Amino acid sequence: MSDLILVPGATGGVGQLVVSKLLEKGLSVRILTRNAAKAEKMFTNKVEIAIGDIRKPETLPQAMSNITSIICCTGTTAFPSERWEFDPQPNILEWGQALFNPQLIESKAKNTPFIVDYQAVENLVNAAPKNLQRFVFVSSCGIERKNQFPFNILNSFGVLDAKQKGETAIINSGIPYTIIRPGRLIDGPFTAYDLATLLQITTGGKLGVVLAKGDQLNGDASRIDVAAACVESLFSPNTENQIFAIGNQGQRPDQIDWQQLFSQMNIT
């Protein structure tokens, strides 16, 4: 069976770059999206498009046929935004109470971190073929440091709790996995609603890539390098059943040697 990689979240910042990188390597790609028109405009006949919503298990089986790996780049905002899909919209009083009573706001939303980063990821795991070669998951740094600043703030609405539960569902599935925990995402496409987007923060292509097992790193991570790490990890036995953080530090070499980075990560 030739390689066919399914990319849920392909219309997002990291997801778009993952698709480009897979195509650059000559791999076949199927994307899973809720929005066919957006995806067709973005990828113009270069990928197979499966329409599905990871919150809805019944929409997933058709996307799974003949795939060999999944690179999951889905996500929502850490703090309430339109991407949470409120129905009904909270009133002013409820917004005022949001930080003291997150559940009140969450109960009115259909695409929260708990739903997208945990329940929907579990749906993907349950629908995935049992002979999948790799499930690559874009998670987040801070998961093992939720009580420390700034991760305690980031986790105000439970995004790190949800990502951790998503990770656990993947680990417990028995499917070979690679879990990648980026720092704050910088470099375009700027799809987040945060300061990095507001200020269009980039590495300028000048910073090197650092990987560290577990949850040891701080700082920013280039979407370009996170996407490359997702794709390159498919080709590395050193990344099988591994969890590592990624960030950008130091001077960038002429070329990033991913296989060397992955093998060094396992020694240190």
- What residues line the site for ligand NAP (CB under 6 A)? 8-9, 11-15, 33-35, 38, 53-55, 73-76, 111, 116, 120, 138, 140, 182, 184-185, 191-192
Q: Decide whether 2 or 226 has the Cβ nearer to ligand NAP.
A: 226
Q: How far apart are CA 244 and CA 98, in angstroms?
A: 32
Q: Which two tokens stand for residue 175?
A: 């499917």
Q: Which residues pair with 213 in a beta bridge?
A: 244
* Least distance in angstroms from the C-beta of 88 to ligand NAP: 19
Gyration radius (Cα) of the chain, Å: 18
Q: Least distance from C-beta 223 to ligand NAP, angstroms?
A: 6
Residue 129 beta carbon to ligand NAP: minimum distance, rounded to whole angstroms: 19
* Beta carbon nearer to ligand NAP, 138 or 209: 138
Pick the closer one to ligand NAP by CB: 193 or 263.
193
Nearer to ligand NAP, 42 or 265 (CB): 42
Smallest gap, in angstroms, from Cβ of residue 93 to ligand NAP?
28
Contact 211, 265 (CB under 8 A): yes
Instruction: Report the C-alpha gap between 72 and 60 in whole angstroms.
Output: 13
How far is C-alpha 104 from the chain's CA centre? 26
Cβ nearer to ligand NAP, comparing 191 with 242: 191
Cα separation, 121 vs 74, in Å, equals: 9
Rounded Cα distance, 124 and 52, in Å: 11
